[in-house]
């Protein structure tokens, strides 16, 4: 069976593009690495997370190449590079690595817009919810800051390949104009072609124009272009119904675990809103204790797991929130790493692994009663799922864009409903909506919403 192979630089990005395909009726699953592909159940779209966003070129490129080879072995003939909506990471050198593994005439068509999340490109500039990319908080990102808003200039810093551009004026003139502009840029020698797009209709027009040209294309985008290109290339959509999201609080039976590893202001408001519901309770977890994995973490994991199990066994609530930021002191992770002799980033990793340890203990005792897990913070989701022994996620739907719902693939908890959401996404009530959606999905008569 002809398949679509997608390489993402982190798991949350992998689920984002996979959910867009699933919503279009194209079965999709995201995996932690190429070894986990052995757990695939013949999905049409396979997404591998290389976890390479913050890696140097010489470290990232071998991982990307290995992922492409693994996808080819599983039958992939069309390829995409999923990129962050705020263009973090080494996009150019990861695309270069993929191009080296694909046919020599492959063109990288870059459409870094996700209009449904208010991420667009106009005049070559990346605009995030009305603000130029370099003027958003991503410019101060600790690991992967982006200080350039003009996408062609940003890509030129990361690749030596010639770069072409399709302006908004070409899109406004129609599909034939887009097709001609793409052809002209290729004739000028471009290997990358970056395109403006401010609506999903723009993205679809570019996909249809590329398909008409019959090029070998590597799609480079956050997800919408990959989705529209797959449809244009004839990937058969399965008939399925998406949730209306209409479950009431009285219909919530069982328990949802909420794991809040993100400390962003957005997450704090969402968690506070959720915790104020009379059907929700919370277990404060000491992030400070989880950092020291040899001395204090084991006892804190055991204490928090016991407290969570006590709440679950009382059957008085429908949600238990494991949180590290609503209560307790604000930590300087860099200082703690220096104090304990840890590498940069290791403190945050230990906190998230500790949260995963708590969840694993709780699930082992109360799996039948727990209907799903909601994890906020990309690193939190990755670490929790890895501790649980998951190989990947079968994608089903999103609650809101970039709050992705699916079911665990592999391990002891295969089939369990999960939602992962980034720390900066959503409104005050988003956590409440996600919990209700998990209950609704868990009551579905069959796993997942898509028949493969």
What distance in Å separates the CA atoms of residue 204 and residue 244, rounded to the nearest whole number?
A: 25
What distance in Å separates the CA atoms of residue 410 and residue 40, rounded to the nearest whole number?
A: 9
The residues, any chain, with a CB within 8 Å of residue 263's CB and separated by 6 or more, are 324, 325, 330, 423
pLDDT digits (tens, 9 = 90+) for 71-92: 999 999 999 999 999 999 999 9
CATH 3.40.980.20 residue ranges of the chain are 249-442
Q: What tokens does 317 get?
A: 């609530």
- pLDDT for position 328: 65
CATH 3.40.50.10840 residue ranges of the chain are 3-232
- pLDDT for position 141: 81
CB count, 10 Å around CB of 292? 18
- Pairing mode of beta strands 28-31, 45-49: parallel
The CATH number assigned to the domain with range 249-442 reads 3.40.980.20
What distance in Å separates the CA atoms of residue 132 and residue 154, rounded to the nearest whole number?
A: 13
What fold does the segment set 3-232 form as a domain? Rossmann fold (3.40.50)
- pLDDT for position 30: 96
* β-bridge partners, 421: 376, 403
- pLDDT for position 447: 46
Q: Which residues of the chain have pLDDT under 70?
A: 1, 239-246, 328-329, 445-452
Q: SS3 sequence, the chain?
A: CCEEEEEECCHHHHHHHHHHHHHCCCCEEEECCHHHHHHCCCCCEEEEECCCCCCCHHHHHHHHHHHHHHHHHCCEEEEEEECCCCCCCCHHHHHHHHHHHCCCCCEEEECCCEHHHCEEEECCEEEECCEEHHHCHHHHCCCCCCCCCEHHHHHHCCCCCCEEEECHHHHHCCHHHHHHHHHHHHHCCCCEEEECECCHHHHHHHHHHHHHHCCCEEEEECCHHHHHHHHHCCCCCCCCCCCCCCCCHHHCCCEEEEEECCCCHHHHHHHHHHHCCCCEEEEECCHHHHHCCCCCHHHHHHHHHHHHHHHHHHCCCCEEEEECCCCCCCCCHHHHHHHHCCCCCHHHHHHHHHHHHHHHHHHHHHCCCEEEEEEECHHHHHHHHHHCCCCEEEEEEEEECCEEEEEEECCCCCCCEEEEECCCCCCCCHHHHHHHHHHHHHCCCCCCCCCC
- pLDDT for position 36: 92
Say what the alpha-carbon torsion angle 16, 20, 22, 24 is, to the nearest 10 degrees. 180
Q: What is the CA radius of gyration of the chain?
A: 22
- pLDDT for position 246: 65
CB count, 10 Å around CB of 446? 6
Asked if residue 83 lies in contact with residue 154, where contact means CB atoms within 8 angstroms, the answer is no
Asked if residue 450 lies in contact with residue 41, where contact means CB atoms within 8 angstroms, the answer is no
Closest CA to 119 of 156, 154, 81, 87: 87
- pLDDT for position 351: 94
């Amino acid at each position: 069976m002809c398949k679509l192979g997608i390489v993402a630089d982190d798991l949350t990005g992998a689920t984002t593009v996979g959910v867009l395909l699933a919503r279009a009726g194209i079965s999709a699953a995201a995996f932690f690495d190429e070894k986990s592909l052995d757990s695939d159940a013949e999905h049409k779209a396979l997404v591998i997370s290389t976890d390479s966003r913050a890696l140097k070129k010489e470290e990232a490129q071998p991982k990307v190449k290995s992922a492409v080879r693994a996808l080819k072995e599983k039958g992939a003939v069309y390829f995409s590079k999923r990129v962050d909506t705020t263009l973090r990471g080494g996009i150019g050198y990861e695309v270069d690595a993929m191009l080296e593994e694909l046919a020599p005439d492959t063109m990288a068509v870059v459409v870094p817009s996700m209009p449904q999340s208010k991420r667009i490109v106009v005049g070559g500039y990346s605009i995030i919810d009305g603000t130029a990319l370099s003027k958003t908080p991503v410019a101060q990102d600790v690991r992967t800051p982006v200080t350039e808003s003009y996408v062609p200039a940003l890509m030129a810093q990361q690749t030596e390949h010639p770069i072409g551009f399709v302006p908004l004026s070409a899109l406004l003139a129609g599909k034939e104009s887009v097709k001609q502009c793409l052809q002209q840029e290729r004739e000028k020698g471009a290997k990358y072609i970056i395109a403006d797009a401010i609506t999903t209709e723009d993205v679809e027009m570019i996909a249809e124009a590329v398909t008409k040209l019959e090029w070998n294309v590597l799609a480079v985008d956050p997800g919408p272009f990959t989705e529209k290109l797959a449809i244009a290339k004839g990937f058969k959509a399965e008939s399925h119904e998406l949730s209306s999201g209409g479950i009431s609080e009285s219909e919530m039976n069982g328990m949802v675990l909420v794991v809040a590893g993100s400390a962003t202001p957005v997450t704090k408001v969402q968690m506070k809103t959720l915790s104020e519901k009379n059907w929700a309770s919370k277990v404060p977890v000491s992030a400070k204790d989880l950092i020291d994995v040899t001395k204090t973490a084991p006892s804190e994991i055991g204490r928090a797991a016991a407290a969570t199990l006590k709440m679950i066994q009382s059957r008085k609530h429908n949600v238990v929130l494991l949180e590290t930021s609503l209560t307790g002191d604000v930590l300087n992770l860099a200082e703690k790493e220096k104090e304990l002799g840890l590498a940069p980033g290791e403190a945050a990793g230990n906190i998230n692994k500790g949260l995963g340890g708590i969840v694993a203990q709780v699930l082992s005792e109360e799996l039948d009663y727990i209907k799903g897990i909601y994890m906020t913070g990309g690193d939190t989701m990755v670490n929790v799922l890895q501790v649980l022994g998951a190989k990947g996620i079968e994608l089903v739907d999103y609650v809101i864009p970039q709050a992705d719902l699916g079911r665990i693939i592999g391990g002891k908890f295969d089939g369990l409903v999960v939602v992962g959401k980034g720390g900066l996404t959503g409104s005050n009530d988003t956590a409440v909506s996600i919990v209700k959606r998990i209950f609704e999905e868990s009551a579905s008569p069959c796993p997942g919403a898509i028949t493969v």
